[in-house]
Structure 1
Amino acid sequence: MSTLFPQFDPEGTPSRFGRFGRIPLRVLLPNLVTLLALCSGLTAVRMAVEDRFELALAAIVFAAMLDGIDGRLARALKGTSRFGAELDSLADFVNFGCAPALILYLWGLDQAGSIGWIAALIFAICAALRLARFNVMLDDPDRPPFAADFFTGVPAPAGAITVLLPVYLELLGLPHGPANAPLALIYTVAIGLLMISKVPAWSGKTLGKRVRRDMVLPLFVLVALFAGLLASYPWLVLSVCSVLYLVLLPVSYVRYRRLMDAYKAEQAAAGDA
């Protein structure tokens, strides 16, 4: 008798675990974290519909934190899979494309009428294009070695956290005047374009793979300090982080260009030799 549900295979190869084999928990755990992030993103939409924007923003931040965990967890447990990669991309589109766009529209872009909705659509579409391009570029064999330290364009989680800056500022006490909607509209489209641009954004993926023994305790203190500040002054911390991220993009671009020039010079010298 056939089972009610089809057998789950994370790689699409039924022979990997056998007909009656069991899936290791290390393969399932990162996917469960991704699903938890997806639930958080969808809950953010619900909170925005109910005009509870503080909880909506908290849900987006929580989803971004989980997004930073699931991939690292999969690599640490050696539980990466094609299924997990596809699920992560779909969850990212919902959490960092659709949810922030809907939050912004319900917060104030609706005051701009149809143009506000178009701005929200542009941001969501840019997030989808950004994620699709990221998946394609993973298989690019011609990328220089240092390219792993940079994203091409602002990544979707950073774009989602950054694009919500107008909401943070209002929660800090900025009056909600008639100019808020037009300015937020322009800002939303600009962040969307940054996501699909070729601006190199430092990823930080290679940072912290190895920590010096004498830096372990200070690192714990800094993480605890940041967590405490985020819990106590969430809108101020998120506003400062968003502004700093945008300010540091030109620095990342200059660093990338220097590394690229050095790489091209090294390749040219190797070719002449």
Structure 2
Amino acid sequence: MDGADRQADAAERRIVGLPLRAFAPNAVTALALCFGLTGVRFAIGEEWEKALAAIIFAGVLDGMDGRIARLLRAQSRFGAELDSLSDVIAFGVAPAMVMFLWSLQDAPKFGWTAALALAVCCALRLARFNSRMDADVQPHKAAGFLTGIPAPAGAGLAFVPVYLWLVTGETLFREWYVVMPWVLAIAMLMISAIPTYGWSSIRLRRSWRLFALAGVGLLGAALVTAPWHSLLAICVIYVALLPFGIASYARVRLRG
């Protein structure tokens, strides 16, 4: 093929545009962004359960888009940038607005500052992730661990006081002096350097696979029938696993 033919072929590909397989994961990311912002809309109307459900569903979509991209071999720099932008809005800005409207606006001082901390730390975490994307040495990633808690998990953990309020009806969990320290702690965990479990760091024994599949099915049923109890239990387990993640990473480093 001579130069003229190659130019004609390239021009034809530009006219045809992006294949559908490259469009699909970006569409899922855009949906996650929309659901995150829809959570803010529900929070403005004080529809708290719908607000939480919208942001949590955005987290489900966020977990799907990367896997769809890898499955279709449609990874791109554009998709990575769009995913980070979506994460900042859906798991940083939206939860910050929900927590401010739900509780932190009642603080005499620094309520908005605490909400901002959640959004800013989410953005800083994602900026750190993007800056290290092409780095040759990433000790946590090489061992299958994450650095700090990921943005979707941070959003879910930030809502723990809301889960408690929905489950118990106790107004104490809505008080700003309870919510503010918790939100600030989650913000700090997002930008921390502690190693946390990632999907690639979890290994299931062959004999446990059927039990794991049964557990996933039961978890899905629990999320449908008692969503706030189930999400609260997931958050408790996640926080309880943080020290084990640190210890596991230390053992991996020693073996390395």
Structure 1 length as normaliser, TM-score?
0.84
List aligned pairs for 1:1-273, cutoff 5 A: 18-144=13-139, 147-177=142-172, 180-205=175-200, 207=202, 218-263=211-256
Secondary structure at the aligned position of 2:196 is classed as: strand
Tell me by how many angstroms 1:24 deviates.
1.2
**8 A Cα contact 1:146 1:259, kept in partner:** no
Q: Percent identity?
A: 45
Tell me by how many angstroms 1:243 deviates.
1.4
Q: Which runs of 5+ in 1 are unaligned?
A: 1-14, 264-273
Secondary structure at the aligned position of 2:92 is classed as: helix
Q: Cα–Cα, structure 1 residues 231 and 262, in superposed 2: closer, same or farther, change >3 Å?
A: same
Secondary structure at the aligned position of 1:197 is classed as: coil
Secondary structure at the aligned position of 1:80 is classed as: coil
Deviations 1:143-169 (A, max 9, x none): 348635111111101000011100000
Structure ranking higher in helix proportion: 2
Structure 2 length as normaliser, TM-score?
0.89
Tell me by how many angstroms 1:223 deviates.
2.2
Tell me how far apart the structure 2 counterparts of residues 183 and 82 of structure 1 sit (CA, whole Å).
41
How many residue pairs get matched?
247
2:5: which partner in 1?
A: none
Deviations 1:4-26 (A, max 9, x none): xxxxxxxxxxx597332331111
Deviations 1:45-83 (A, max 9, x none): 000000000001111110000000000110011011111
Tell me by how many angstroms 1:183 deviates.
1.6
Tell me how far apart the structure 1 counterparts of residues 140 and 109 of structure 2 sit (CA, whole Å).
45
Q: Cα–Cα, structure 1 residues 195 and 178, in superposed 2: closer, same or farther, change >3 Å?
A: closer
Query: How large is the Cα RMSD of the aligned pairs?
Result: 2.2
Tell me by how many angstroms 1:246 deviates.
1.0
Q: Which runs of 5+ in 2 are unaligned?
A: 1-9
**8 A Cα contact 1:97 1:160, kept in partner:** yes
2:6: which partner in 1?
A: none
Tell me by how many angstroms 1:177 deviates.
3.4
Secondary structure at the aligned position of 2:16 is classed as: coil
Secondary structure at the aligned position of 1:172 is classed as: helix
